């Protein structure tokens, strides 16, 4: 799916409302939190964001056509931002490394080493900075990016 930092409010609500047992209040709290996190792009110097989306994300109807249209417009807008690189991993690449679960790599300004957030279907989502984990994830990212369609690199 589209990463939270690039989701529209309606797309986020559609995804979050699928959680079994979630109350409307819990869903709205999570939507508001997700939208609040996107405010980092309004900073004087926003972070650089490099995202690779699987082609299937563009075809999976998460919500109504209107919601999907709004989400695609958001992706197009994001792809035009100077500090955002958005690439698509095409079906033809046959790269399965990304199918093992999404992950986020982050270089934090006040940290000596990068960290990663591993997203999974289990309850074991976690943050790690262990050197062996980071080496493995950087390799995965590089392999996926090598197979992705070229995109414009973010400018500084």
Is pTM, for the whole model, over 0.85? no
Residue 30 lies in a domain: no
Number of domains into which the chain is organized: 1
Residue 122 lies in a domain: yes
Residue 7 lies in a domain: no
Residue 81 lies in a domain: yes
Residue 6 lies in a domain: no
Residue 17 lies in a domain: no
With a cut of 60, say whether residue 153 has pLDDT above it: no
With a cut of 70, say whether residue 154 has pLDDT above it: no
Residue 106 lies in a domain: yes
DSSP state of 121: S
List the domain range (segments joined by +) for residue 61: 47-147
pLDDT of residue 101: 79
Residue 156 lies in a domain: no
CA distances from 36 to 4, 30, 61, 64, 103 (A): 11, 10, 25, 24, 21
What tens digit of pLDDT does each residue of 66-90 get?
999 999 999 999 999 989 999 999 9
């Amino acid at each position: 799916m589209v990463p939270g930092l690039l989701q529209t409010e309606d797309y986020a609500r559609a995804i979050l409302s699928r959680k079994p047992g979630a109350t409307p209040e819990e869903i709205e709290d999570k939507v508001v939190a997700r939208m609040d996190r996107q405010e980092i792009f309004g900073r004087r110097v926003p972070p650089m964001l490099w995202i690779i989306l699987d082609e299937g994300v563009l075809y999976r109807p998460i919500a109504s056509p209107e919601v999907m249209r709004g989400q695609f417009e958001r992706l197009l807008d994001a792809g035009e931002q100077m500090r955002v690189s958005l690439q698509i991993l095409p079906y033809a690449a046959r790269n399965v490394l990304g199918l093992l679960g999404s992950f986020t790599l982050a270089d934090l300004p006040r940290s000596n080493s990068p960290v990663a957030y591993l997203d999974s279907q289990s309850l074991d989502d976690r943050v790690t900075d262990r050197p062996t984990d980071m080496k493995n994830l950087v390799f995965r990212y590089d392999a996926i990016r090598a197979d992705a369609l070229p995109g414009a690199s973010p400018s500084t």
